[in-house]
Amino acid sequence: MPQGSSQSRPHRVAVIVDEGTNPFEVGVATELFGLPRPELGLDRPPYEVTLCAPTPGVRMNHGFFTLTGVPGLEAVDDADTLVVPGRPDNVVPRGAAVLDAIRRTHARGARILSFCTGSFALAEAGLLDGRRATTHWLWADTFRELHPKVLLEPDVLFVDEGDLLTAAGSAAALDLGLHLWRRDHGAEAANHVSRRLVFAAHRDGGQQQFVERPVPDVPDESLGPLLVWAQERLGEPLTVADLAARAALSPATLHRRFRAQLGTTPLAWLTGERVALACRLIERGEERLDVVAARSGLGTAANLRARVRRETGLSPSAYRRRFGPPAGEAVMA
């Protein structure tokens, strides 16, 4: 079971809804952090979401919705995490009240996320100078012009700077949210949430933003069946050549399809899936690193340590202490 059931209260998430905010990204935040999660077996929701706004009525993007009846921006003062969604008019300065709310949230040490062009607000508040960040690829040049001190990474899904996290686009907000679920509650919990979303459980932040999805003029070339086949055999010595042979493709063609459909390489995808499986095995109580390495396909305990640390920032033992079962609980088979 993921850690969190012993918390004295849920982790509080505030979402700023400003004039012109994209409603999809507000929906992403509430879907990720606002729903009860009975499938996790927790005795209380791990997150508690509050929407807040600078005015009593906020007209959202293109007037599709008007938000009323939510708290003012003072709600950010109780938040452990603040979410700043994007809006389309990024050259228009944010209101002083919104920028002040963002600054004081950061000043007291809370975590701040931006979705899509919400990174403009973080940069305008002065939080991203000298820091790594990303934004939607369509606005990358404008972002550089307005905020030249920010270390912009325009070709990734999201950037995690610890206290400041930025997602590249609306869909990448889902990737960043699941990344936070893994960071806060472990891979097993994130996997449950991703299944409920019917969304990829793990896409590394360094994957490309722009994924080509042309309308097919040939029979379905989806990688889905191949991915399921490989996920069922992660403990076997699978190689890219094995994947290509299974798909009846040349390695070069397989590589092109992975790039087009997933924005990553076959080897990077395979390694990411193996690390995710290793984390789940550790969470379930397996303490023998050589067993975890073998069952996940990572080979050796040394490779396991390196890969888990790179992905989670924790050693396997630290990961076990944070997300594993209580001491003395039986190891799962």
Report the catalytic residues: 116
Region for residue 240 given its phi and psi (left: phi exceeds 0; alpha: psi -120 to 50; beta: otherwise): alpha
Closest CA to 318 of 331, 308, 333: 308
| Pair 34, 72: CB distance under 8 Å | no
* Burial grade of 297 (CB within 10 A; 0-12, 13-18, 19 or more): buried
- 3-state secondary structure string, 224-251? HHHHHHHHCCCCCCCCHHHHHHHCCCCH
Q: Are residues 13 and 81 in contact, defined by beta-carbon separation less than 8 angstroms?
A: yes
Report residue 315 as tokens. 């050693």
Q: Are 262 and 221 in contact (CB under 8 A)?
A: no
DSSP-assigned letter for residue 185: H
